[in-house]
Structure 1
């Protein structure tokens, strides 16, 4: 059975890897690299699985700082993804003209 020190080292290592993946994801977002985004998503999922058993009581000061850094990077990336999605939606809306709104009169003759 691994001791507590080994478990904390594993957590810190996984968090360092997560930070590296989040930085690669940010680069992929900036360059609109679909393959890079797909790979980042896979890597994040694997790391989340590896970190699933960790809880606040298993974190030391270093791991807490790494977790906070990862949280902040993930938030930045989430905001960038949302901005990109909003820009795409605006462009699609501009191509398609104004959206049709629901009107009960449209279906009165059905």
Structure 2
């Protein structure tokens, strides 16, 4: 894969991660599943890349993608904690999954 192709793939990954963020914000299940499929495809493309060949621009794109992916992961966890809290409130039952205090607090603010 050329540097140009790699940069294009990383830019596509950033676009997909942004689409996923918007899908999570709107709780759009079809868009979330589509973003997941697109991420998996792009990860398959990136599997063949030798990390030693990354230039500064590519490293910056990788870092941006890593940060955006982490934000999306935290949003997914907040949504899951909020759902668990609401289900427990309905049933009065104990939680099977306990989110950390930070996620629980963020979920109550949402």
* TM-score, normalisation: structure 2: 0.82
Q: Which has the higher contact order (CA 8 A, sep 6+)?
A: 1
3-state SS in 1 of match to 2:71: helix
CA distance in 2, matches of 1:55, 1:86: 38
How far off is 1:54 after superposition?
1.3
1:21 aligned partner: 16
Long gaps (5+) in structure 1:
1-5, 101-110
How far off is 1:25 after superposition?
0.4
Runs of 4+ residues deviating >3 angstroms: none
CA distance in 2, matches of 1:55, 1:97: 52
3-state SS in 1 of match to 2:2: helix
- Deviation per CA, 1:41-100, whole angstroms, max 9, x where unpaired? 000000000000113201111100000000000000000000000000111111111329
CA distance in 1, matches of 2:43, 2:28: 22
Structure with bigger gyration radius: 1
CA distance in 1, matches of 2:79, 2:94: 20
CA distance in 2, matches of 1:62, 1:99: 48
Q: Number of aligned pairs?
A: 95
Long gaps (5+) in structure 2:
96-110
Matches within 5 A, 1:1-110: 7-99=2-94
